[in-house]
């Protein structure tokens, strides 16, 4: 019971101003909630939260520790896992608006090798909406360390066989999404993914930290997880008996999903041999899982999206393409995710504690997340370095999302409301 009640106690008794940065008074309640959610664990890691509203940055705060011996700084970057998928998708939409790639043209037209294994009809739109059938990572590589080899992974994706016929089903692509979409962008333009990021996203938006593959000189800015030290009495002895299904696997079975699909999509062989937070892991190009960003960069990208693809007088995404990317492709649950995600082209619905939103974005396995709400002209980004993991986001992400929407509604509608 104490384990259940402790987070509530931590929240109620927390310091409401345990953060640094700038806060618009209209979003003061959100800053206080951020402080309450982080206060009890500020020695275990750090976090940052940035909000844009009606084209202006209204909240930019941070707290806690970047590493065991360093405090979180205003320019600290953190590994955000699948939150990077939304960034990669945004780059794809910018390039599509530039006429450099087409949503509905077969990717094999740009990337002939991709036509293997009857993949000649798969388009960029199928990849972005998780309908290509190429969600399996476990059976296309022999060891997770291979993920750090970008050219080799493109070859593996080109040679891979889809698990279902294109557009006949849907399966979230936890790891393969990045090589599919990133590969298509490279082949269509003849430029590297890093070059495309700099030319079409980072430099035009003047982002202060956004990478798929961190340059060596920027590694010192990256927050690293702080793992608790276990005493010998806390170390569990491994059992030799057959392993029983864990809670996630039992939930998948109960819901009618296949644990095998989940494992094949999420867990490459030899994962113990690869560390995303090592220098090798951070410098590798694995866009589905190792995007490294500041909260400021993420919030600014989504501020442009919240403004329908426009930013400071420049059009990044055409009106036609913005309508296309924000349209829900299907509302059924896919093969991997435990909840219906209402996938758009590269983004999913906003998950809150009840507040309704037609917006979209992407969260990461560690509970980081970024999103936009074009109706409210609101964008949100939350990053951290705590060693947590969840397919549907840490409860802090849901709570902060809820309060961000409520603060915006207090301005737009005159009352915050819960729903």
SS in 3 state form for 349-382? ECCCCCCCCCCEEEECCCCCEEEEECCCCEEEEE
Please tell me the predicted confidence (pLDDT) of residue 71.
97
Instruction: Report pTM.
Output: 0.94
Q: Is 288 a catalytic residue?
A: no
Residue of 82, 129, 288, 379 with catalytic role? 82
Please tell me the predicted confidence (pLDDT) of residue 244.
58
Q: Are residues 281 and 148 in contact, defined by beta-carbon separation less than 8 angstroms?
A: yes
Angle (nearest 5°) at CA 322 between 329 and 365:
60
Alpha carbons 419 and 416: distance in angstroms, whole number: 9
Structure tokens at 24: 């618009």
Structure tokens at 28: 């003061």
Structure tokens at 226: 């702080």
Per-residue pLDDT of the chain (419 residues; tens, 9 = 90+): 566 677 777 888 888 999 999 999 999 999 999 999 999 899 999 999 999 999 999 999 999 999 999 999 999 999 999 999 999 999 999 999 999 999 999 999 999 999 999 999 999 999 999 999 999 999 999 999 999 999 999 999 999 999 999 999 999 999 999 999 999 999 999 999 999 999 999 999 999 999 999 999 999 999 999 987 654 333 343 333 344 555 555 665 666 778 999 999 999 999 998 999 999 999 999 999 999 999 999 999 999 999 999 999 999 999 999 999 999 999 999 999 999 999 999 999 999 999 999 999 999 999 999 999 999 999 999 999 999 888 777 889 999 999 999 999 999 999 999 99
Q: How many CA atoms lie within 13 Å of 258's alpha carbon, on the beta-carbon side?
A: 9
Alpha carbons 147 and 50: distance in angstroms, whole number: 31
> What is the Rg, in whole angstroms, of the alpha carbon atoms belonging to the chain?
21
Domains, the chain: 17-76+293-412 (3.40.710.10)
Q: Which helix (H) or strand (E) holds 298?
A: helix 295-306
Q: Are residues 46 and 385 in contact, defined by beta-carbon separation less than 8 angstroms?
A: yes
Alpha carbons 116 and 134: distance in angstroms, whole number: 12
């Amino acid at each position: 019971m104490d384990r259940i009640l402790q987070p509530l106690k931590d929240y109620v008794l927390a310091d409401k101003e345990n953060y640094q940065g700038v806060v618009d008074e209209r979003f003061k309640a959100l800053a206080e909630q951020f402080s309450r959610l982080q206060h009890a664990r500020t020695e275990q890691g750090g976090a940052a939260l940035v909000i844009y509203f009606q084209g202006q940055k209204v909240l930019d705060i941070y707290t806690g520790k970047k590493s065991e011996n360093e405090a979180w700084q205003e320019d600290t970057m953190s590994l955000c896992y699948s939150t990077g998928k939304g960034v990669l998708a945004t780059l794809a939409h910018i390039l599509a608006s530039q006429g450099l790639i087409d949503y509905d043209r077969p990717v094999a037209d740009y990337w002939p090798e991709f036509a293997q294994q009857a993949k000649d009809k798969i388009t960029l739109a199928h990849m972005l909406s998780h309908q290509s059938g190429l969600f399996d990572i476990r059976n296309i590589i022999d060891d997770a360390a291979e993920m750090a080899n970008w050219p080799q992974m493109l070859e593996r994706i080109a040679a891979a066989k889809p698990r279902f016929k294109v557009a006949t089903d849907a399966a979230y692509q936890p790891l393969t999404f990045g090589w599919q979409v990133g590969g298509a962008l490279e082949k269509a333009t003849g430029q590297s993914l890093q070059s495309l990021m700099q030319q079409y996203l980072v430099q035009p938006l003047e982002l202060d930290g956004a990478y798929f593959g961190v340059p060596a000189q920027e590694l010192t800015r990256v927050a690293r997880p702080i793992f608790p030290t276990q005493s010998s009495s806390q170390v569990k002895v491994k059992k030799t008996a057959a392993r029983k299904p864990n809670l996630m696997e039992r939930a998948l079975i109960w819901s009618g999903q296949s644990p095998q699909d989940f494992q094949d999509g999420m867990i490459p062989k030899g994962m113990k041999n690869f560390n995303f937070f090592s220098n090798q892991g951070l410098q590798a190009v694995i866009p589905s899982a190792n995007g490294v960003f500041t909260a400021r960069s993420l919030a600014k990208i989504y501020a442009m999206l919240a403004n329908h693809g426009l930013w400071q007088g420049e059009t990044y995404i055409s009106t036609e393409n913005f309508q296309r990317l924000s349209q829900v492709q299907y509302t059924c649950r896919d093969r991997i995710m435990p909840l219906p995600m209402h996938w758009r082209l590269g983004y999913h619905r906003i998950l809150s504690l009840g507040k309704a939103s037609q917006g979209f974005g992407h969260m990461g396995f560690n509970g980081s997340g970024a999103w936009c709400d074009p109706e409210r002209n609101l964008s949100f980004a939350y990053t951290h370095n705590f060693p947590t993991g969840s397919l549907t986001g840490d409860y802090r992400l849901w709570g902060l999302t809820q309060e961000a929407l409520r603060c915006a509604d207090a301005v737009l509608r005159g009352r915050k409301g819960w729903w």
